[in-house]
Amino acid sequence: MTTSPGFPTVVHTGPTALPPTTIAASGPAPTIHLHRCSFGTCTKRFKRPTDLARHQYTVHLNMTGRLCPIAGCPKSQGRGYSRADKVTEHLWKKHGDLGYRKA
């Protein structure tokens, strides 16, 4: 019987028994998250350090202040957005009639 490391061996039984075969495992390889959030009891992990930094700024440090530039919009005052990409998303979703488009 021949086997390959990491692959299951299938043995056929019964009246039409076939020689053992090896089946390759399917599915994507597991994702390794190397960057762990160090705030309190947070258990989030991220593949990229930039994703970790964004998480810490938006979730734990509550960084806000990016406002919609359109006068009269409810999002042009108050707390605003913590991420610039969310302001951009807001502009094309809510103010597409003014020429803002998805990048």
Residue with tokens 């409810």: 74
Q: How far apart are CA 46 and CA 96, in angstroms?
A: 33
Give the list of residues 6+ apart from residue 38 with CB closer than 8 angstroms, or none. none
Helix H or strand E segment including 60: none
Structure tokens given for 12: 């056929």
**What pTM value is reported for the model?**
0.46
pLDDT digits (tens, 9 = 90+) for 22-65: 555 667 776 676 899 988 899 999 999 999 998 888 788 876 67
Q: How far apart are CA 97 and CA 76, in angstroms?
A: 17
pLDDT digits (tens, 9 = 90+) for 14-29: 555 555 555 556 677 7
